[in-house]
Structure formats: structure tokens, C-alpha cells
Amino acid sequence: MDERRSSWLVPVLVAVIALVAGTSYIVGYFALGEHALATVVAPSAGQSVAANAPARIFPSKWQAMLFTPAAKIESAITGEEVDVGWRGWTP
């Protein structure tokens, strides 16, 4: 009886932990990242072209690095490239 109980308990606990971790990551991405339009300047043949690009600005660099994969997923979903940066960062 005890063996049967432990056989389903471990996968359920692993699934719950994965669900909580994934939810925390997504909530952190949207809660900590300030949505902004970044002005991107790209030199092209001696000229500068400015365009507004969507960006998520985080309080620190390590947070920006942590949430870069989430920005790639957001880019794939929205069809617009979402840039990631931190306060004090210039694109």
C-alpha cells in the first residue's frame, strides 16, 4: 500500500513545483518588466534610422538576462521583436 502511494505522489509533487515555478517566472516577467517603446538608432550607409521598438525594461541587468527567453517568446507570439534592457541601459 505504501509503495503505491509513493508511486503517484512524486510525479504530482514534481508537476506542482514545475507549475509554481513557471507561473512565478511569467508573473515576474510582466510584473517587474516595464513595457516601453525604445528608440533604436541603426547606422546604415552613414545615416541613422530611428524607430520605436517595444521593450521590457527591468530594474537590474541580471533580471534582464533572466527574462530574455520570455521576451523571445513574447516576440514570437506578437510578431514584433521585443527588446530587453535595464534601467540606465541604452539600446
66-81 pLDDT, tens digit each: 999 999 999 999 998 8
Range of the domain at 46: 2-86
pTM value is 0.71
For the chain, residues with pLDDT lower than 50 are 1, 48
Evaluated on CA atoms 70, 74, 80, 83, the torsion sign reads: negative
* Count: domains in the chain: 1
Contacts of 37 (CB under 8 A, 6+ apart): 52, 53, 54, 55
Classify residue 91: in a domain, yes or no.
no
Query: What pLDDT, on the 0 to 100 scale, is given for residue 52?
Result: 74
Classify residue 55: in a domain, yes or no.
yes
d(CA 7, CA 54): 47
User: How is the beta sheet containing 34-44 ordered, strand by strand?
Assistant: 34-44, 47-58, 83-86
Classify residue 53: in a domain, yes or no.
yes
